[in-house]
Amino acid sequence: MNSAHLYRWLLFSIFSLVFAGVFAFFAAMARTPAVRLFPVEELFRVALVVHVIFAVVIWFLGFKAVLWCYCAAGRGSASSRLWSYGLYAAVAGMLMVAASPLFNARPLLIDYIPLLVHPLYFGGLILIALGMSAVALAYIQHSREAKLDLPSYTMLLTALVLLVTFLSFFSSAFINGTNYRALVWGPGHIFQVASTLAMVAAWFILLRETLGKDLDSPPVRRLLLLYLAVAMLMPGIYFFPRFEQFWLFTQAMMYGIALPSVFVGLLVLRALAEQPSLELRNPEVASLVYSLVLFGVGGAMGFFATNADLRVPAHYHGVLGAVTLAFMGATYLLLRKLDIPYSRRAAMLQPHLYGAGLLLIISGLFWAGMQSAPRKTVEYADSATSLAMNLMGLGSVVAVVGGAAFVGVVLLALLRASR
């Protein structure tokens, strides 16, 4: 795989974050009592849907392709048309999704993935899924041509789990039709297995390339197979009655991800603890540390979450923010590997802003959830909840600044490199 493919997928990923960041700010300010950006709650819902789809679906998918390009470097031919066709389809799909709010699409704030009900939106998602399937198949083909190191092996498992996700989505569409909550519930949970695996691969890459720590061993590889086993078993849940499927998918994800992740996280934590010192001014190291902290804190919050209040978004903002921070750290590493210069001063601060902002966000959301504050609303009855949500709003501002700094630093570096 040549650097041109890696460069293009990096651009795709960064532009998905541009959309995610803009709509994240809109949604957060609509929720912040001191600001109340939108007078109409429907606009808040549209902003929230678009933010989520770009922040936790399209960005995560794009960076999986980035990691596949990196891991496939120097192995086999880079001429496979699947890499190019997959990118073209994904770009077209992303533009369709971005344009769908302009066509009076109806927002559905459903779990696990919110939706806009419009053919343009669904067509865009299908194109992205087809494009990513092509790239996943291209990586699997490359993986047959050489011995895999630990990150490459982890990304092979990611490719397999992602294909299971897409097959589950199309199967769910056939089974559930326009029952949108049931449509996305199963595939959404399997997708989180793929995203966790990609985050773990980014951890392994950062540990090896930045700190000189290689965790490769047969027990670690067997541990990672648990993620694949869980993902392969999850589609079987569709054979159960529908009212049981929601609970079973949740339990499968909770324990199927939590159990191997605890051990992987402890291995990474031990590798960090063995360092004489951690250079937290290095954005690669800082991103890794914040990612590990957020994954641990956000994961722990999940065991206290109930579906009715804001402890649920506290949980998933923590764990999904951890994935994003791992990808941010890997991005700085890739820029270094590609000899693309970027602003070191801004990059030195960026992970701290984004990581600290997310910690404030999940603290505010969890605090409000402890006051039984409901999800998916902008109305809060008591002063304690309003204070907690203002803390969330402050964290959102800090995190948006950190996210914008990341996008600005990387996008400027990539555009300068294209000249």
d(CA 384, CA 387): 5
Query: What separation in angstroms does the CA of 76 have from each of 1, 90, 143?
Result: 8, 24, 9
Domain-wise residue ranges, the chain: 1-146, 157-273, 278-419
d(CA 177, CA 50): 22
Q: Tokens 């300010």 correspond to what residue?
A: 29
> pTM of the prediction?
0.92
pLDDT tens for residues 260-299?
999 999 999 999 999 888 889 999 999 999 999 999 999 8
Give yes or no for residue 36 having a pLDDT over 80: no
Task: Give the pair of three-digit tokens for residue 243.
Answer: 């009212």
Give yes or no for residue 249 having a pLDDT over 60: yes
Share of the chain above pLDDT 70, in %: 91
Query: What separation in angstroms does the CA of 407 have from each of 199, 292, 385?
Result: 19, 21, 32
Side-chain half-sphere exposure of 411, counting CA atoms within 13 A: 13
The one-letter code for the residue type at 190 is I
What is the pLDDT at residue 232? 93
Give yes or no for residue 85 having a pLDDT over 60: yes
Indicate the pairing of strand 106-108 with strand 115-117: antiparallel
d(CA 128, CA 116): 16
Q: Which of 7-11, 43-47, 300-304 has the highest mean pLDDT?
A: 7-11
SS3 content of the chain, % helix, strand, coil (to 5): 80, 0, 20
pLDDT tens for residues 197-219?
999 999 999 999 999 999 999 99
d(CA 132, CA 57): 11
What is the pLDDT at residue 31? 64
d(CA 213, CA 211): 6
d(CA 52, CA 87): 21
Least confidently predicted of 73-77, 125-129, 319-323: 73-77
Tell me the CATH number for domain 1-146.
1.20.120
Residues paired with residue 107 on neighbouring β-strands, in sequence order: 116
Residues 6+ apart with CB under 8 A from 300: none
Query: What separation in angstroms does the CA of 147 have from each of 1, 83, 93, 398?
Result: 16, 21, 34, 43
What is the pLDDT at residue 176? 77
What is the pLDDT at residue 37? 57
Q: In this structure, how many other beta carbons lie within 10 angstroms of the beta carbon of residue 108?
A: 15
d(CA 205, CA 56): 21
Closest to 353 (Cα-Cα) out of 295, 316, 394: 394
Specify whether the CB–CB gap between 301 and 220 falls below 8 A.
no
Least confidently predicted of 46-50, 143-147, 272-276, 403-407: 143-147
Share of the chain above pLDDT 90, in %: 55
pLDDT tens for residues 349-365?
999 999 999 999 999 99
Give yes or no for residue 78 having a pLDDT over 50: no
Specify whether the CB–CB gap between 403 and 328 falls below 8 A.
no
